[in-house]
Amino acid sequence: MTTRAKRAAVWGLVLATLTVSSLAWAQPVMEMCAPYQPNTAEKTCVVDGDTIWLAGENIRLEGFDTPEPQTDICGGEREKALAAQASARLIELLNTNVWTVRRSGTDRYGRTLATVAIGGRDIGEWLVSERLARWWPDGEEWWCD
């Protein structure tokens, strides 16, 4: 077998392995986290519209911000209702699409900072375009009005 044929065979095997691996990989089912529950290695859920737990890892989604569900910092009941909508939409997007996580560091609270993308599009783009979020840090907190 020539060197060229050997290389072709190796690359064919690599590509076949990658194809099988990507087809067999499944996304975790996301649902709302139970409030104020301790972390476990299995914890996978949505905290709110911009924070998830993924197999025990606390992930703050970068680049956008959603209303607060518990504290209603500035918008009262309207903010809490919008927070519930943002969380529900995030769950829907995660459960109906294949998505990727790109980690970029940690924040001051020890959470992993990351971008979640669907088909290369940042999930924050959906939430901002649907008026369920704002760009962070410079977007206006319009739900405070």
Which of the four pLDDT bands, split at 50, 70 and 90, describes residue 3? low
42 lies in some domain = yes
Give the domain range for residue 129. 27-144
Average pLDDT score, the chain: 82
Under 8 Å between Cβ of 56 and 42: yes
The pLDDT, as a whole number, for residue 26 is: 60
How many folded domains does the chain comprise?
1
Q: Indicate the pTM of the whole model.
A: 0.78
5 lies in some domain = no
Question: 37-47: per-residue pLDDT in tens?
Answer: 787 888 999 99
18 lies in some domain = no
The pLDDT, as a whole number, for residue 18 is: 33
When pLDDT is averaged across residues 59-70 and rounded to a whole number, the result is: 92
Q: Residue 98's domain is classified under what CATH number? A: 2.40.50.90
The pLDDT, as a whole number, for residue 140 is: 86
Asked, as a colleague might, if the bond just before 137 is cis with ω within 30 of 0, I would say: yes
Q: What is the CA radius of gyration of the chain?
A: 19
Portion of the chain with pLDDT greater than 70, in percent: 81
43 lies in some domain = yes
3 lies in some domain = no
9 lies in some domain = no
17 lies in some domain = no
The pLDDT, as a whole number, for residue 15 is: 34
